[in-house]
């Protein structure tokens, strides 16, 4: 039983569902994009670089390669991300790493996403839509 | 167009934005080309769009972007009656996340009750604050100096202090510490990993109240006991009342004990064999923890956890709320 709970509280990182997101039916809002970017950056312990972040985000949602720079820059200004340069292949590569504030923001997004997706799932599966309307 | 043409045009197009913004953006795209590799150069250029489009996106993201720019705007709903046919518009989750979870609307009688109740509570609180503030002032008057020291611990320092709006910071050699023992009364408390690792554990305390922080070398235990580290007392402004323990990355404790009162606590990146955590009326968020045996006791508080790796969990929840992130069924 103990094991069961542990299984449940290990939050799995977002795994790419498909290689290269297929045509998207649903649009991604700004908040969701922030959340995905923060989650992707968190997956690398020492932070991730722009190209990698873009490719990772593109495995789950469709977006143009130039969309992410303004998002990363804004998250950096909001102190959700820090940047630092690290030597790689004879040059300095810029890495983005999550801050404590970014981490709490991501936590909040995760909670909200869970609530949101559960509600949508309930509507789709027809369970417990509204307690007052059972006949 | 090759990479150099692209970058030169982009630089020209960005000549009207602040220099630091321009350098930041050019650095990003320069890195981008490098990381994509020379073999993907053409593909990247066609996927990025024209330098004009890229420059426009960069400028849209700047704080004083021109108002004609459509940034963060909802999709135009010009053909609203046809949304049934347009799945994109119909199902678009234009989803704004509030900074605080939204409150449900309350009936009028409840609001009146709350207002009257709050006035009553506020009265009591003000009296308490008044008394405590007076007490703090007395201590200030006696001491007549601000405590602001940096201790480098050699095992002998007991580090007990009465804080009065100042900041204390302690540094301990992590290799000598196997156990954390924290008792925290009220206020904001955080444990997190250091951004740069120097092999030390840092404790930073600011605000008002009585704080003891010491390291007993024989036991290898770092004690932190802090009471009345309350924001309300901080009437004169000054430092935020946050107590933080900064630990080295991937440092493993044998044991970590936390007794938390009415505080808001965030524990991140703790790696321990045994961990015990009691939370009273406060709020506790755990994240990125690796614990072999975790014993949790949540009173009237709120507890949430993410990215946890726990082998053995024992959890008691009283009147509180425990929110453990649950992946989709089947995992």
Query: In this predicted structure, what is the pLDDT of residue B183?
Result: 83
Q: Minimal Cα–Cα distance from B324 to chain A, Å? A: 6
CA distance A25 to B88: 6
Count of residues in chain A: 135
CA distance B101 to B220: 41
Please indicate whether, in this complex, the C-beta atoms of B35 and A52 are within 8 angstroms of each other: yes
Please indicate whether, in this complex, the C-beta atoms of B304 and A116 are within 8 angstroms of each other: no
Query: In this predicted structure, what is the pLDDT of residue B239?
Result: 43
Helix%, strand%, coil% for chain B, nearest 5: 30, 35, 30
More reliable by pLDDT, B112 or A59: A59
Name every residue whose Cβ is closer than 8 Å to that of residue B58 and which is 6 or more positions away in sequence. Answer: A69, A70, A73, B14, B17, B21, B25
Q: Pairing between strand A91-98 and A81-88?
A: antiparallel
Residues B209 and B229: beta-carbon distance below 8 Å? yes
DSSP chain A: -HHHHHHHH-PPPPPPSSSS----SS---HHHHHHHHHHHHHHSTT-EEHHHHHHHHHHHS---TTSHHHHHHHHHHTTSEEEEEEEETTEEEEEEEE-HHHHHHHHHHHHHHHHHHHHHHHHHHTSSS-GGG--
Model confidence pLDDT, tens digit, residues A60-117: 998 888 999 999 999 999 999 999 999 998 899 999 999 999 999 999 999 999 999 9
Diameter over CA atoms, chain B: 77
Query: In this predicted structure, what is the pLDDT of residue A103?
Result: 93
Please indicate whether, in this complex, the C-beta atoms of B24 and A73 are within 8 angstroms of each other: yes
Diameter over CA atoms, chain A: 70
Which of A7, A49, A108 is closest, CB to CB, to B35?
A: A49
Q: Of A55, A80, A79, A78, which is closest to residue A65 (Cα–Cα)?
A: A55
Query: In this predicted structure, what is the pLDDT of residue A100?
Result: 92
**H/E run at residue B140:** helix B108-143
CA distance B246 to B197: 10
Written as tens digits, the pLDDT of chain B (331 aa) is 899 999 999 999 999 999 999 999 999 999 999 999 999 999 999 889 999 999 999 998 887 654 443 444 444 444 444 434 444 444 444 444 445 444 456 677 777 887 788 888 877 777 776 666 555 544 443 333 333 333 433 433 444 555 555 667 778 888 888 888 888 777 777 888 887 778 888 887 766 566 677 777 677 888 887 765 444 333 444 445 667 888 888 888 889 998 887 777 888 888 899 999 888 777 788 888 888 888 888 777 778 887 888 888 888 877 777 777 644 443 3
CA distance B135 to B141: 10
Query: In this predicted structure, what is the pLDDT of residue B131?
Result: 62
- How many Cβ atoms from other residues are within 10 Å of residue B131's Cβ? 10
Please indicate whether, in this complex, the C-beta atoms of A9 and B75 are within 8 angstroms of each other: no
This complex has an ipTM of 0.76
CA angle A75, A62, A121 (to 5 degrees): 90
Query: In this predicted structure, what is the pLDDT of residue B149?
Result: 38
Query: In this predicted structure, what is the pLDDT of residue B228?
Result: 53
Which of A5, A6, A30 is closest, CB to CB, to B72?
A: A30
Query: In this predicted structure, what is the pLDDT of residue B77?
Result: 42
Q: Minimal Cα–Cα distance from B104 to chain A, Å? A: 15
CA distance A74 to A72: 5
Q: Minimal Cα–Cα distance from B84 to chain A, Å? A: 14
The pTM (predicted TM-score) of the whole model is 0.42
Name the residue of chain B whose CA is nearest to A62's CA. B47
Beta partners for residue B191, in sequence order: B245, B267
- Residue of A13, A37, A51 best to disrupt the B interface, most CBs of B under 10 A: A51
Query: In this predicted structure, what is the pLDDT of residue B164?
Result: 54
Residue with tokens 């100042």: B166
**What does the block give as tokens for A7?**
């299984």
**What does the block give as tokens for B98?**
């509030």
Query: In this predicted structure, what is the pLDDT of residue A129?
Result: 55
Q: How far is CA A131 from the centre of its chain?
A: 32
CA distance A50 to A41: 10
């Amino acid at each position: 039983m103990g094991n069961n709970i542990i299984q449940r509280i290990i939050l799995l990182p977002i795994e790419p569902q498909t290689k290269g997101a297929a045509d998207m039916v649903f649009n991604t809002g700004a908040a969701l994009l922030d959340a995905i970017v923060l989650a992707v950056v968190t997956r690398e312990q020492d932070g991730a670089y722009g190209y990698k972040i873009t490719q990772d985000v593109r495995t789950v949602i469709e977006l143009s390669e130039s969309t992410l720079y303004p998002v990363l820059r804004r998250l950096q200004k909001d102190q959700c991300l820090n940047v630092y340069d690290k030597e790689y292949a004879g040059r300095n590569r810029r890495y983005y790493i999550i801050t404590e504030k970014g981490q709490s923001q991501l936590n909040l997004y995760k909670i909200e996403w869970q609530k949101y997706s559960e509600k949508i799932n309930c509507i789709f599966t027809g369970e417990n839509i509204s307690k007052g309307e059972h006949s | 167009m090759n990479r150099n043409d692209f970058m030169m045009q982009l630089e020209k197009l960005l000549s009207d934005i602040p220099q630091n913004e321009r350098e930041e953006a050019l650095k990003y795209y320069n890195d981008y080309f490098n990381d994509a590799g020379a073999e993907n150069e053409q593909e990247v250029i066609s996927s990025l769009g024209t330098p004009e489009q890229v420059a426009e996106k960069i400028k849209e993201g700047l704080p004083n972007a021109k108002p004609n720019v459509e940034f963060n705007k909802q999709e135009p709903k010009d053909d609203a009656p046809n949304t049934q046919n347009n799945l994109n518009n119909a199902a678009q989750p234009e989803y704004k996340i509030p900074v605080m979870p939204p409150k449900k609307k309350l009936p009028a009688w409840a609001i009146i009750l709350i207002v009257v109740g709050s006035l009553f509570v506020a009265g009591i609180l003000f009296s308490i604050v008044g008394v405590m503030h007076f007490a703090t002032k007395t201590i200030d008057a006696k001491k007549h100096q601000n405590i602001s020291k940096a201790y480098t611990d050699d095992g002998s320092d007991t580090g007990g202090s009465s804080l009065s709006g100042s900041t204390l910071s302690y540094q301990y050699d992590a290799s000598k510490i196997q156990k954390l023992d924290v008792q925290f009364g009220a206020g904001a408390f955080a444990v997190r990993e250091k951004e740069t690792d120097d092999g030390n554990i840092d404790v930073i305390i600011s605000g008002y109240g009585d704080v003891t922080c010491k390291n007993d070398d024989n036991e290898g235990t770092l004690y932190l006991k802090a009471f009345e580290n309350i924001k309300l007392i901080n009437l004169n402004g000054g430092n935020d009342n946050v107590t933080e323990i900064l630990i080295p990355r991937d440092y493993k404790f044998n044991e970590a004990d936390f007794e938390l009162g009415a505080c808001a606590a965030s524990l991140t990146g703790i790696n321990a064999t045994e961990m015990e955590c009691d939370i009273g009326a406060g709020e506790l968020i755990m994240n990125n923890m690796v614990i072999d045996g975790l014993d949790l006791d949540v009173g009237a508080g709120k507890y949430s956890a993410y990215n946890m790796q726990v082998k053995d969990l024992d959890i008691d929840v009283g009147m509180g709320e425990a929110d453990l992130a649950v992946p989709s069924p089947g995992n």
